Structure 1
Amino acid sequence: MPEHIKARLAEEIKALEHELTTELPAEIKKAVALGDLSENAEYHMAKQRQVFVNARLGQLKKRMGELAMVNLANIPADRVGFGSTITVFDSSKDEEIIYKLVTSEESDVTKGLISTTSPIGRALLGKFVGDTAVVVTPNGKRELEILKLATIHDVVPEDKTLPEVTKE
C-alpha cells in the first residue's frame, strides 16, 4: 500500500488525538468557567467538535487497519486491479482515456486517478485487455473497451506509453 497514504493518515490521526486530548479539554474548561452551560455557545461548540473528532478518529483508525491488511502480492498481474493503469476506449465519448486505479484517498478524476470503489473502478476490476466494461452513470450507460493495461507489477514509463498485457 502506498506509504504516503499511511503517513498522511497517521499525521491526521496524531493531530486529531492532540486536539482531543489537549485543545478541546482546555476549550471546554474555559467555557465551563463562563457559567450557565444551557446557553453557553462556546461550550456547545466545543462538545460538538469533540464528538466530530472522536468519529473522525474512528474512521481513520479503521481505514489504517484496512490498508495494513492489503497484500500487494495478491493483486493480479494479468487483469485490472488496484494500481493498474488502463487505456480504454469510451464509445459514448468516442475517445481514448487513461485511468489509474487508486485508493479513495488518492482519487482525482481530473488527473485520471479513479478509486477502486467508484462506479468506473468497480466496473473495470478483474477485466482483461479486449474486455468491455459497462458503467452505469447518471448520464446513462458507458461502455469502456480495455485497449491497454499495465498492472502494479509492471513498470509504467513516465510518458504513459503502456505495455500491453494480453488475455491468455
Structure 2
Amino acid sequence: MSSTVYLTAEGLQKLKDDLHHARTVERQKISEEIAEARAQGDLSENAEYDAAKEAQGHLEARIVKMENALASARVVNEDEVDASKARILSNVRVMNQKAKREATYTLVAAQEADLKRNRISVESPIGKALLGREVGETVAVRVPAGTVQLEILDITR
C-alpha cells in the first residue's frame, strides 16, 4: 500500500502529462527500437536488442511508479495550508547559522521538487527537518558536507 502523495494542481497535471507521454510516445519508440534490433537477426549477440529491452524495463518501472503516485495523489489547496508550522506547500525562510546566509524554500512532494526554483521535497533531508517546525526553531540537518544548523525565520503559504 502506498502512502498519500500530496501535489499542487499543477503538479498533478504534470504527473498525468508525463504518464500519458510515457505510455504513448516512449512505449512506441522503444517498441520500434526492439523491432529494428530483432530484424537484425541473432538476438543472443545483439547489443541493440539488449539495450532496447533494458530501456523498456526501465520505462515500465517508471510508468508503474507514476501510476502508483497518481493513484495515491491528493491535491493540496494552497489556501488551506496552515502557516503556523512548516507543512507541504509552506514557504520557509531560514538562516544558515554557519554561513550566515538566508534562503527560502517551498516544501513540495518529491515529484514537484525543483532546486532551481527553491522547491524542495518533504522527503529530502532539509524538507524532513523543517516539516512540522515553527518560527524560531533551529534544526540540525545532515547534508553531504556535514551538519548545518537552520533557524526558521518565517513561514508563509
TM-score band, normalised by shorter chain: 0.7 to 0.9
CA distance in 1, matches of 2:142, 2:54: 38
Highest RCO, 1 vs 2 (Cα 8 Å, sep ≥ 6): 2
1:121 and 2:124 are equivalent in the alignment? no
Q: TM-score, normalised by structure 1?
A: 0.75
| Aligned counterpart in structure 1 of residue 90 of structure 2, from 74, 80, 84 | 84
| Aligned counterpart in structure 2 of residue 4 of structure 1, from 10, 18, 21 | 10
Structure 1 or 2, whichever has the larger Rg, is: 1
More strand as a share of residues: 2
Bigger mean CA deviation after superposition, 125-134 or 100-109: 100-109
Distance 1:40 1:74, change over 3 A: same
1:69 and 2:46 are equivalent in the alignment? no
Q: Which runs of 5+ in 2 are unaligned?
A: 1-6
**1:166 paired residue number:** none
Q: After the TM superposition, which segments of 4 or more aligned residues of structure 1 sit over 6 Å from their partners?
A: none
CA contact (8 A) 2:83 2:155 kept: no
Q: TM-score, normalised by structure 2?
A: 0.80
1:41 and 2:38 are equivalent in the alignment? no
The total of aligned residue pairs comes to 149
CA distance in 2, matches of 1:39, 1:12: 34
Q: Which runs of 5+ in 1 are unaligned?
A: 152-168
CA distance in 2, matches of 1:49, 1:122: 33
1:56 and 2:68 are equivalent in the alignment? no
Distance 1:42 1:109, change over 3 A: closer
**2:139 paired residue number:** 133
